[in-house]
Amino acid sequence: MLKIAIKENPKSDHARLVVDGVVDRHSFVFNLDKDKKGLLYANVHNRKAAERLAASSCKELEKYFTSFTIPFEAEWDLYCGRVEVYFFGWHGKSDLKLEKDRKIKFELCPNLEEWAKPYSIAEYAETFEQVVKKLSQQSIRYYEADELISNGFGIKCRMKSGNPVIKDEIKRCAQILKSVIEETEKLLAATARKNSVTTFFSFPPGVKTSCEQYLLYFVQFLEDMGIKADAEIKEDAQKVLFSVTPADGPSALEQIRQALEIYIKLPGMPGFSASASQYPNLAVQQLHANILHLQSQLTLAKVSLQAQEATIESLQLSNYQYRQLLSSEAKPKPKTEPLVGDTIHVTEIEGKGVKVDLPLILNRLKRVFGVGCKKE
């Protein structure tokens, strides 16, 4: 059974929290409702104490607390650090009453001095709020600490009914926060790169460098297809942001988007090596060499993961892409429309909207200083 106690702190007006005999020396706790239930608010820092609270159920905890905060860490989050768990809230207009109100609150507090995004914190918060509203869920609300965005903003999620365990509810609500953050960054990245195709990837550490090298070769692939462009790779919050800007302006964005969709699938495309061996020109052979290098690194990573008894489905470059952004609005297309010459088509049936003529793509890859051509 959970045991909660308070230990007076002679150096402070706030007492320390004791959870199952563990004294949190950096915590502070005070009574929000002395005349009624004597419920506590606590700011918890000790990890053992926090883990014990998180492993408890709502009914256990609401005997003691109106709310408490505990540490929160996630590799995809840079601005949170703590999560607040509510059991009761003040309701009413003139005569405030403490009523049951179970919620999980995540507050994001970006550091103004370290902020180096192509958009402001205010723009980030505004877009974040829009994404939360688009969820259209009564149980999830946007939150602001006060009129200054820099003081914190985030979401409040209503907990499930019944008697849920706190850590389960934190995990569930954290996934909602993650999806909101990803959608916010997607929209802002597209806005910041209006004339670029932007894609997010999440690479395992063991293959990250090889995958990034392969992505950068995409510019040469495009040039061999007759499209000039520049590319940029930027790491941000455990993700890799890859953006490609065409030299010919927005008119080439759709061609690049479709070409990139094919390019990231080439390493896992059956029969690619056999087809490439029939084309001795430099453009095809260099592409083939880059793909072979990437495949070897992915194979090594797969063996390493299996040695660690990790559960994996398939290591392919396309598996790491979780969001592709196109700033221009998608326009209605006919049943089949050629995008890059007649090598890539948009279609209603094949390959999730894309049909690839691999031999024709390889035949069209030309290098100005290359030698050879397709074998007859």
Distance of CA 70 to the CA centre of its chain: 23
Q: What would the two tokens of residue 79 be?
A: 């601005």
pTM of the full structure? 0.63
Q: Lowest-confidence range among 13-17, 216-220, 307-311, 322-326?
A: 322-326
Which tokens sit at 101? 């109100």
Q: Are 351 and 268 in contact (CB under 8 A)?
A: no
Tell me the backbone φ, ψ of residue 292, rounded to 5 degrees: -60, -40
Instruction: Quick: pLDDT tens for 153-201.
Output: 999 999 999 999 999 999 999 999 999 998 998 888 777 777 888 887 8
Q: In angstroms, rounded to a whole number, what is the distance separating the alpha carbons of residues 215 and 138?
A: 41
- Nearby residues of 308 by Cβ (< 8 Å), 6 or more positions away: none
Are the C-beta atoms of residues 356 and 344 closer than 8 Å to each other? Answer: yes
| Per-residue pLDDT tens digits for 114-150 | 787 778 888 999 999 999 999 989 999 999 988 888 8
Identify the sign of the CA torsion 293, 299, 305, 307: negative
pLDDT digits (tens, 9 = 90+) for 62-72: 999 999 999 99
3-state secondary structure of 314: coil
Provide the pLDDT for residue 33: 56
pLDDT > 90 in the chain, percent: 33
Compute CA 257 distance to the chain's CA centroid, rounded to the nearest angstrom: 20
Amino acid of residue 277:
S
Beta strand 22-31 with 40-43 is: antiparallel
Query: Listing from the earlier edge strand, what are the strands of the sheet with 4-7?
Result: 4-7, 15-19, 22-31, 40-43, 65-71, 82-91, 97-108, 153-158, 140-144
* Cβ-contact 69, 85 below 8 angstroms: yes
Looking at residue 276, its pLDDT comes to 86
**End-to-end CA, the chain:** 80
**DSSP result, 133-190:** HHT--TTEEEEESSS-GGG-EEEEEEPPSS--BHHHHHHHHHHHHHHHHHHHHHHHHH
Q: Please say whether the dihedral angle defined by the alpha carbons of residues 265, 268, 270 and 276, taken in this order, is positive or negative.
A: positive
- Calpha distance 319→352 (Å, rounded): 15
Over residues 340-359, the mean pLDDT reads: 50
Antiparallel, parallel or unpaired: β 197-201 and 239-246? antiparallel
Q: Pick the closest to residue 218 from 198, 189, 191 (CA basis).
A: 198
The residue ranges of every structural domain in the chain are 4-191, 194-364
| Residue 118 structure tokens | 């192509």
What does pLDDT average to over the chain? 79
15 pLDDT more than 50: yes
